Amino acid sequence: MKSAYEAVVVGAGPAGCSAAIHLKKLGIDVLLLDKSFFPRDKICGDGIPLKCFPLLEELGIERQVILNLGYQIRQLQIHSPTGDIISYGNREEDASQKSVCMARRDFDFLFFTHAKKFLTQVELGQKVIGVDRVSENTHSLLLREAGTGRQRKISTRMIIGSDGVHSIIARQERMVKPGRSHRFIGLRVYCHSDSFEPVVHIIYHRLTLPGYVWLFPISKNRANVGMVVSQGDKARTRRNILGIFKHVLTRHPVFTSLTENDKIFDKVRALPLNLGSAPGPRVKDGIILIGDAASFINPLTGGGIFNAMLSGKQSALVSANCLRKNDVSEKALKIYEKRWRKALAPSFFYSSLMKRCLQKEKTASWWLRSCAKNRIYANIFLSVYGNPLPRLGPFNPLVLFKALTTK
């Protein structure tokens, strides 16, 4: 490992790999770091939506590769607290693919392996434990090696923080500040059954609102089952989070086919999810935050893979330009703030509004029942449901036209 680099990307998930590949293509001397070794697990719903494929193909990962390795999904079903169901897509063999489900352990390993083909400088098992500003244009990173505990310092002109929800860079530099009202708690477990249909289920239950329980099949015999609940709202129920999860899984008809229900709860894993509605800057002098480190999680769905890859790409474009101009000041990097806000802020805003609508059982049941009965309402709901939105969001003429014409 050298002691100095133009740019260092901390974290080798989808956001970090995207940033590092784009930086390398732009001719920047970049080091990609991660505290873990791959393959490694991450708590996630394991869904890869259609909107991710263009970003993957820009990086050289062909759509067909993901389709072949993942479980192709043909339908989405959203269940209301009163039992109404909103269906999108159909289960016919010739139906267009809306998304793919693939275990994050496998997806991230595929992504990282692809990134290593482009990058000459990758270091695993290196945890960042400190960040110091050395000069106007230089930072130093204090690293601790897994296993040996040895420490070393490296310097760089540009830090791209992609070190996840517990980002030491965001915390130490006092950047984005997600409070309880801007955080989901996510639970996940893998379950087995004789045969899972190519259908994703989202179950809004009175105990989980504005969060939900999900079932994402990743193969015909294995599914990712999980739940997100708002940390700020969980206190209104008298059950703990695991208790809510058990209650829904043992009573809702979607989960009746699951085997070994009494054993799966010993394998449940949990993780906080910081939402895109969180306040605070994502740039400082010589530092950009991306992905989960920047709290780029959709406030309605809890999804973030698309946001991670998009922010990784934008951070690389801005960083490369600023490095060439020898100006990595916060003022110069502000263009990244403008770009991510233009691309992601409308979705975060309208998803936050919809999240508020789903906080109370009465309004959630009314809205989801209306969507189940009226296709236009359902299409407007889907346009907000994790999709990148233009300015004016669901009221944009193009979005409204699609809602009125899609069957």
Do the domains 71-103+180-274 and 4-47+106-178+277-350 match in fold? Answer: no
Q: What is the pLDDT along the chain (407 residues), one digit of tens a residue?
A: 688 999 999 999 999 999 999 999 999 999 999 999 999 999 899 999 889 999 999 999 999 999 999 999 999 999 999 999 999 887 665 445 568 999 999 999 999 999 999 999 999 999 999 999 988 889 999 999 998 999 999 999 999 999 999 999 999 999 998 888 899 999 999 988 888 999 999 999 999 999 999 999 999 999 999 999 988 765 555 568 888 999 999 889 998 777 555 567 778 999 999 999 999 999 999 999 999 999 999 999 999 999 999 999 999 999 999 999 999 999 999 999 999 999 999 889 889 989 999 999 999 999 999 999 988 888 888 877 766 655 655 555 554 445 445 55
The string of DSSP letters for 293-330 reads: GGT-B-TTT---HHHHHHHHHHHHHHHHHHHHTT---H
What sign does the dihedral 177-182-185-191 (CA atoms) show?
A: negative
> Which CATH superfamily groups domain 71-103+180-274?
D-Amino Acid Oxidase, subunit A, domain 2 (3.30.9.10)
Do the Cβ atoms of 201 and 77 come closer than 8 Å? yes
Amino acid letter for position 94:
D
The predicted pLDDT at position 385 comes to: 75
pLDDT value of position 89: 81
Provide the edge-to-edge strand list for the sheet that holds 71-73: 47-49, 99-101, 71-73
Q: In this structure, is the dihedral angle defined by the CA atoms of residues 385, 300, 279 and 333, taken in order, positive or negative?
A: negative
pLDDT number for residue 97: 55
Of the candidates 103, 112, 102, 139, the one whose C-alpha atom is nearest the C-alpha of residue 11 is 112
pLDDT value at residue 266: 75
Structure tokens at 91: 């289960």
Instruction: Identify the DSSP state of 96.
Output: P
- What pLDDT was estimated at residue 234? 54
- Which sequence spans correspond to the domains of the chain? 4-47+106-178+277-350, 71-103+180-274, 357-405
CA-CA distance, 185 to 255, in Å (whole number)?
21
The domain defined by 4-47+106-178+277-350 folds into FAD/NAD(P)-binding domain (3.50.50)
pLDDT of residue 239: 64
pTM for this entry? 0.92
pLDDT recorded at residue 388: 65
Residue 22's closest CA among 285, 290, 309, 287?
A: 309
Q: Which contiguous run of DSSP H or E holds residue 382?
A: helix 375-384
pLDDT computed for residue 283 by the predictor:
97
